[in-house]
Structure 1
């Protein structure tokens, strides 16, 4: 590996950390397609490596939000608990899936996430008065039960596709817990770190993590996370959602097409 290669990996990390800090999305959405399409890393190794990066980036970002009092883990702890279990189940499923199926599956998830993010940027204005009332629980135990079920589902997706579930957790905190946006991003990022750590352990136990790539990309992810968190409140959120949504969708389509022709 030469210097330009190292710099490229760090730049990838910068982008990953920035996206995580600004919209609470998992950096896995960026790392997995790049490692598989341009660095010829196997899908299983790419997901395992990206999960480790996700843990480091998410912890960095969540600490920044914590300093600004934008984390409330008390309400989100139920999602975190079952997401850990679900992540192990998902990682077990992923180990038994073929490279082609896993690549295609991840590409489809990426497209759906991109379209959802892009669509959300248009719907937020019209739904601003009702978006926090999607679920109307009369009793606390109903909210807790729903959070446990959702957390388990998020964990399974994390384990299979390597996504820490940041966007899904974010939507859950806003829709079910009625969190303000900034507190929802901070809390979901911390929960994402916990979920990603559980998935990382599952992939590491099967030898599907490239430590060298993880370290280099994580250096950039830490820097990107710190810088992005600092300026998170100054960025036009809707514009950023549209850009990220388009990028995710294009990468997902590209990844799916390339997989079909391999």
Structure 2
């Protein structure tokens, strides 16, 4: 039964990522919150999946010319270093505290989706000509990488809206966030996997990666079948309610 839940969960969450660019933060909730796995095992499986969705998503955005590669590389260099620190910090903390951080990040992520303005309004306020020094983007990547690796947030749910605030156009921000999530996922997936017994990942990892990759690919190819804003709101409401429940009940 656990295998079926993992396959279906990864497929559905992958599909939502393909459709909207968000929802990855639900994976750690599935593993640690619903299936009761240890935080290290749940985060290892989640970040390996984020690696797949990041590669597929970034590739599609690059082909569509919605990826500022230079900016993405500078942010990602900082994120790689930050992610290493986030994993080390996570493994030093108590299991219960780590899960509470995860639930809190999921709660805040859901609220941020509900409060986010639509793309047309964001596009009007975008300031693509605004320049930030390179050290700023390195620091930005390091801080967001640390938070994402520590909590299991994945990346885009935190990085994308912040990039928009700093004047990056919405579609470009999504492309950069997906590219950046690869560099958060690499050290995070390896670091958390080292904290697991090999048998904990041996069968579950291939199942999750294949089903997640199929979901992301199908979702990204069928964005016209469902209104992304409706799906985003549904994901947000579900996330907020689930996070509140887990914070109250533990």
TM-score (normalizing by structure 2): 0.88
Partner of 1:129: 124
Q: 1:150 to 1:106 in 2, by over 3 A?
A: same
Aligned in 2, Cα 1:100/1:18: closer, same or farther, shift over 3 Å?
same
| The one of 52, 63, 67 aligned to 1:67 | 63
Cα deviation digits, residues 30-67 of structure 1 (max 9, x gap): 12111123322112221122111111222122223333
Whether contact under 8 Å (1:23, 1:185) holds in the other structure is no
Deviation at 1:75, TM superposition (A): 1.9
Cα deviation digits, residues 82-113 of structure 1 (max 9, x gap): 00000011111101111111111111111001
Q: Cα deviations across residues 230-253 of structure 1 (Å, max 9, x unaligned)? A: 123564232222112112212211
Q: Distance in 2 between matches of 1:231 and 1:184?
A: 21
CA distance in 2, matches of 1:234, 1:147: 36
- Can you give the 5+ residue segments of structure 1 that lack an aligned partner in the other structure? none
What RMSD, in angstroms, separates the aligned Cα atoms of the two structures?
A: 2.4
Matched with 1:186 is 175
The one of 19, 29, 32 equivalent to 2:28 is: 32
Q: Which residue of 1 aligns with 2:14?
A: 17
Residue number in structure 2 paired with 1:198: 187
d(CA) in 2 for partners of 1:80 and 1:177?
18
Tell me, which stretches of 5 or more residues in structure 2 are unaligned?
none
Partner of 2:100: 104
The 5 A counterparts of 1:38-117 are 38-117=34-113
Which sits farther off after the overlay, 183-192 or 86-95?
A: 183-192
SS at match of 1:210: helix
**Contact 2:23/2:235 (CA < 8 Å) preserved in 1?**
no
Q: Write out the 4+ residue segments of structure 1 that deviate beyond 4 Å after TM superposition.
A: 123-128
**Alpha-carbon distance in structure 1 between the residues aligned to 2:246 and 2:57:** 28
Kept in 2, the 8 Å contact 1:22–1:232? The answer is yes
